[in-house]
Amino acid sequence: MKWLKIKNRIFISAMSILSIAIFGTSCSKDNSTLPPVNGYNASNDVASSSLLAHWTFDGTNNETISGTAPSTSNGASFGTGIKGQGLSLNNGYILYPTIAALSSANALGSFTVSAWINTDNRDTLASSVFALTKTTSAQTDWNDGPINMYVETVKNHLTYDDTLVLHGAFATYPGGIRAGGDNINDYGVRGVDFQTVLGTKKWVHYVLRYDGAGSNIDIYANGTRVSNNNFRFRGAGTPAVGLGALVMPVPTQVLIGGWPSATTGFTNSAAQTWQGLFVGSIDEVRVYNKSLSDLEIGSLYQLELAGR
């Protein structure tokens, strides 16, 4: 083996130099050198032109595309996320002022909201993950919409201790009159009508998707559709006519970890006894003005799980 003598009289083998070079290179790899996932190198590549809002929670609570800072932050800190840092909430929430990209009547005719959650068992309380709401003064009920994602960890008929019941709901306002729809990974025949989601105290990728063209609402967990097949289509009337593209009330605000009620500053919306503030972590919240395909949702899950 060859040895090299350097000025400070330390002798280093050529093989060691090669090892150092390889190690340094491997540590500095960027995503472009890694195998793509369904053609994507990084999570930010998935439906990038349709991404309207993104919260990374990497040392900041600001929405990263617009730079919008929260108007209220309660019980919030930073911890380990699924990708870098994440938002840690201890019976907490974060409220944002109006974000322009999410605050026009046709901003989200179809939409997808993606988030990672890690929550403990909350007993009889349900916890809100993400809500796009009317303003704090205009909201008169927690489900005024237009978007609400929330989770339960205990229901009377559950037989699994580690079960998350994921809810997704939306409200549309054609002509200024509210119409709404929801779905849930519960009710009916387990494994046929809906899929069980096991995931307390661990990271779960939670996605709500609404297709305005087909009036279908779906919930995904870890890249798999888990919501109820019997409640995908949302319509009104007899025979039912699809609710169609979402028409939003404006202006709107974003609330993460809390319910739009008097508890979080929505003075005209009564707090409900079954609603609790979030305990656990939330990370990588994304809002798209598109109904992402199954392939795009699966790719987002795999890439963010890999820290990409």
Number of compact structural domains in the chain: 1
Residue 5 is assigned to a structural domain of this protein: no
- 99-118 pLDDT, tens digit each: 999 999 999 999 999 999 99
Report the sign of the C-alpha dihedral through residues 241, 288, 50, 106, in that order: positive
Q: Is the pLDDT of residue 216 over 80?
A: yes
Range of the domain at 242: 50-305
Backbone phi, psi, residue 199, to 5°: 175, 30
* 104 inside domain: yes
Residue 13: the pLDDT is 39
- Classify residue 76 by burial, with Cβ atoms within 10 Å: 0-12, 13-18, 19+: buried
In sequence order, what are the beta bridge partners of 276?
127
> Does a structural domain hold residue 208?
yes
Q: Domain containing 153 — which CATH number?
A: 2.60.120.200
Q: Is 7 a domain residue?
A: no
Residue 200's pLDDT is 87
**Considering the domain boundaries, does residue 78 fall inside one?**
yes
Rounded to two decimals, the pTM is 0.89
Which amino acid does the sequence have at 288?
Y
Does some domain include residue 15? no
Q: Is 216 inside a domain boundary?
A: yes
What is the reported pLDDT for 197? Answer: 93
59 assigned to some structural domain:
yes
